[in-house]
Amino acid sequence: MTGRGRGFLLKKIEDEKAADEQSDVGSSISTFPILGRGGRGIKLQTQSLSTQQPTTETTTSDSDSNVSAFPLIGRGRGILSTLGRGTTSSEPKSSEPDPVEQAKQYVTGQFDDLSSPKKVSSSSGRGRSSGLNTDERESAKSLIEGFEKVTIEAPAKQPSPEKVAPIPSMEKEPEEVVEESVLTKKGSKGTPFTALTNCIMLKCNKDFGVFEYEVRFQPEIDNIQHRYKYLGQLREQIGSVKTFDGVTLYLPKQLPDHTTTYTASIEGQNEVEVKIIYHRKKRLGECLHLYNVLFERIMRDLKYQRVGRKCFDPSSPKEIKQHKLEVWPGYVKSVEEQEGGIMLLLDVSHRVLSQKTVLEYMSECVEKYRQNYQDMVKKALIGHTVLTRYNNKTYRIDDIDFTKNPTAKFMKGETEINYCDYYKQQYNKIIKDMKQPLLIHREDVRVPGEKTKKEMVFCLVPELCYITGLTDEMRSQFTIMKDLAVYTKLAPFQRVAAYKQYVENINKHPEAKQKLTDWGLTLDSDPCQVTARVLNKEVVIFGQNKSFDIAPNADFSRNATSCEVLEPVNLQNWVLIYTKNDSKTAENFENTIMKVCGPTGIRCAPPRRNELPNDRTDTYVNKIKDCVKDKNVQIVVTIFPTLRDDRYSAVKTTLCKDNPCPSQCINSKTLRNEAKSRSIIQKILLQMNCKLGGTLWGIKIPLKNTMIVGIDTYHEANQKGNAVGGFVASMNSSFTKYNSIPTIQKKKEELLNGLIASMERTLRNYKQINSNLPDRIIIYRDGVGDGQLQHVETYEIPQFKEACERMCPGYSPKITFIVVQKRINHKFFKFIRDRPPAESYVNPPPGSVLDHTVTRRNAYDFFLCSQNVREGTVTPSHFIVLRDDNQFEPDIIQQLTYKLTYLYYNWPGAVRVPAPCQYAHKLAYLVGLAVKGKVDDSLTDKLFYL
């Protein structure tokens, strides 16, 4: 089964039974992979463990059981089948058993000189499997005012490699390596500067490669374990470094002959003839999985502990004793095929761990909440990941069983044993508290040869578990976050030093370096250096036709509070609700509002103040319902004495669904800081103006009759609730008015199913406001991982076309569809020559664009750093153009994207993503976290969710 990579695997499975056999771990990995898309690859777990962990089993259905017994290859753009171990790939040394692995073993604006659109042979973007024919490009009339024609050079279209059919039973001629052409989409606007990336070139010696062979046995061997053993007898002839899946063999060096025949024998079996037939040398881009597995083994050699997709060094923790925390340093890495070649993407990562046990945390909850402590403990811990230090493994808490304790018994093999005795025998750990509940971790484990999975339930003792990551309470404490930042928010020069140190560590470690040498691989000593560009500065527009050049740090907060807003909405009838204890805070808030409103151009009347006798949730809700009976109330402002999710959710649900009215919730603690209260209240006033339909500022974007859409999705942390999709679309020519539609989705569903209805409704509103439908629709889609790109391209985009056709038969606007990715590991830094190391590498300035060398080989994509950060390292956002009917030049899309980052009204500056995306995120977050249901239609034309 082939996935959507740009390399194709030659593969043959002779017998379905073979798939259920276990691997000969001494020579190869036997499981047959299902090919996925692209880069990182998943680590093949091969550690064999002998002991059992207490578990219980339940059976769950598995709809893809016919294929799911085989591991998925990661999301790379080239594919290689499973990796053979060989003698040079050392097995992990035995360590304390992993309970999960035991169970598996057991069960198994000015746009500056923007170019005009070009006519090309395809209406789609560079995409992941399509290209633009640029041999004959004609000039077209500019669809956008002020765009200047620019010529972009692109290579001529070259033939793509043919798909390779499954290996036939007859021999065939070997194939030559066909390199795919690289299609470059580069902009030219802005000021160039030298940048250093976090990609390190991975080179292959010309005498090495990955050579593909077919292995045949005569007589036929059905038992896949026997196949591995027979081939293992040929180490002297073919070498010890190889990968073999039972049919296809890969070697780092080519054998002398096209077809080689050997005889081999193993104990208890007849002698067989082994024929090895050469097929082709694989393109390097097809070998990403092999390279990723090699680096996983290198991390084991360097004594790093894998947690998720990252690897950490448990032997060098940084302790923060005053907070009982420690930080594990580590790396996240993946081998990917970029425009510039095969590269190791490397970044520094950290794992925060508490030195307090989960039992200690539970005890604190008992003291704090008393009667309902069990509910609060579950709320605080379920969904978190814990570390068991006796084996340095991590487990997600799925439930807490208060009916069991460490004296409970389970079956270990045929023997009944309790948890206390088990941990004493297995790990020499003595459990002290016999009344503590047990933590529950569930994991679906596939059973070889069966069409169902086994759900294994693991019981963990809180006394032996430590919370990883940060709790909400920790994040809310300034001192904790400040002390953590010393270790986690590294400056650019510190990251660059860490990248170089990683390469040096590999070169100094004989076993690690040998793993690369065996396949003819070498890493450059320094990260890849490229040329990036910083786009020209933007101009922000306020009321009274005042405009200002935005400062180099992308911040205009002083202008935002001293200038009149672009479109003010006067506060004539508003309600202020607070408790008796916050009466002074409420009075100061009202007085300050009246003082600061003048410069903004917003006229404010005094609010109708409502003092509550207590802070109970129902007291707030009842008072709100009473106040909004007056339909002329513009907005309800509530001051909460403390942060409580249930109260916030009840108030928002009441005012977004049951009794619709814009609302503003404020924590009284934020108003008590006299030094900052004035600036805080100024920002609250501006936020209230937006919620009433006002506009704060603008950026000149010379696009006519165009609608810009932002889409994002919210999932609850514990994944138990429904997902919510946010759909936000611009309604005016200045892209400052939006229509916002939330969509409730099924559990764990990332892709939106309600696109047609949302799009139709949005188009109706657009036509009602503008008296016509948009000629162009530009969509920024956030919340899409690499594994979902093809689904978005083939499923979501057609929904937009269908919605347009249903809206008006024959209506077919030009659509540009851009995927936005924030959770990426890419970094790039500005390199300044002739300076000390600490000053040579700095964050790139806001507006920095990188669109070549480290971008994807066959995708129309670019990186944009739009923000300014005061400490640490800025992370760019990644933009992938999946479709471009408008045939925009790269400069247009890049500058448009940058301009839109300034139009998010909760921040007087640039944010990481275009404003419509950020609005969609806020909308989905509010509805998913608090409202949990449909929002009244009367609010959808306002930014009520800011």
* Ramachandran quadrant class, 19 (left: phi over 0; alpha: psi -120 to 50; beta: rest): alpha
Contact (CB, 8 A) for 421 and 430: no
- What is the C-alpha separation between 448 and 446, in angstroms, rounded? 6
Place of tokens 């190869």: 28
- What is the C-alpha separation between 665 and 656, in angstroms, rounded? 13
Q: Which of 466, 400, 530 is nearest to 827 (CA)?
A: 530
Q: Which residues contact 851 (CB under 8 A, 6 or more apart)?
A: 185, 186, 187, 861, 862, 863, 890, 894
SS3 209: coil
- What is the C-alpha separation between 659 and 925, in angstroms, rounded? 20
> SS3 string of 611-638?
EECCCCHHHHHHHHHHHCCCCCCCEEEE
Strand locations in 435-566 (E): 438-446, 452-460, 465-468, 521-523, 529-534, 539-541, 547-549
Q: Which residues of 228-242 are buried (b: 16+ CB within 10 A; e: fewer)?
A: bbbbbbbeeebbbbb
Strand pairing partners for 204?
521
Burial class (CB in 10 A: 0-12, 13-18, 19+), 478: exposed
Q: Between the CA atoms of 23, 28, 34 and 39, what dihedral angle is there, to the nearest 10 degrees?
A: 140
Strand pairing partners for 281?
211
What are the angstrom distances between the C-alpha of 7 and each of 72, 79, 200, 529, 581? 16, 6, 22, 27, 67
* Residues recognised as catalytic: 712, 750, 782, 921
- Pairing assessment for the beta strands 848-850 and 529-534 based on DSSP bridges: antiparallel
Contact (CB, 8 A) for 512 and 520: no
- Pairing assessment for the beta strands 663-667 and 635-640 based on DSSP bridges: parallel
What are the angstrom distances between the C-alpha of 400 and each of 99, 365, 404? 18, 14, 9
Contact (CB, 8 A) for 472 and 850: no
Q: Which two tokens stand for residue 511?
A: 């076993």
Q: Which two tokens stand for residue 410?
A: 């389970």
- What is the C-alpha separation between 674 and 592, in angstroms, rounded? 11
Q: What is the DSSP string of 850-919?
A: E-SSSSBTTS-EEEEE----SSS----EEEEEEEETT---HHHHHHHHHHHTT--TTSSB--SS-HHHHH
Phi, psi of 915 (to 5 degrees): -55, -45
